[in-house]
A and B are shown apart, each in its own frame.
Chain A
Amino acid sequence: DVKVTQSSRYLVKRTGEKVFLECVQDMDHENMFWYRQDPGLGLRLIYFSYDVKMKEKGDIPEGYSVSREKKERFSLILESASTNQTSMYLCASSLGSGRTTDTQYFGPGTRLTVL
């Protein structure tokens, strides 16, 4: 079974702090994704990566950056956390290799609160 893990289930940070969210997958997937989930809005894509050191902006990249130095690890960085970034953050991965029909597999999520 695919396993996607996220470094924290719950996180509380203060406004202006730099925040790192880590995601690791163990199935040698090429694609990795960061979403945020807010009630009534579904999932919104922040960034995705289709290879090591490769990234593309999603729908809401402002205020976020990402890093993918190793295939299995994809990090989301909030450069200067703000209260409007309080949300549930979900990481996902999929097989890749140019296949657009791949299933995405999700981690348990990190609920971030910015005070």
Chain B
Amino acid sequence: GIQVEQSPPDLILQEGANSTLRCNFSDSVNNLQWFHQNPWGQLINLFYIPSGTKQNGRLSATTVATERYSLLYISSSQTTDSGVYFCAPLGNKLVFGAGTILRVKS
């Protein structure tokens, strides 16, 4: 099956800093989702992005399907951005990476 690698595994930021999270996947996919898992465990949808770039406020995502990677950009980070970020290529089901644990310090 498809393999998903996320980097970095852990990231600590000072509030206001920018960051880039990366997701590599081993096979072509129909689509890809990015999620933020908050401290209460809820998976929050960030992006549904098969290719190209999408923006939502301080967050944006780019997927280059031909090169099998996706990037999540977080600008002007806030403490509420803390949590775990997952990418998940989508075929008939989602295949999750191990996640990036983000801690934003005030």
Partners in one complex: no
Q: Which residues of A contact B (CB under 8 A)?
A: none
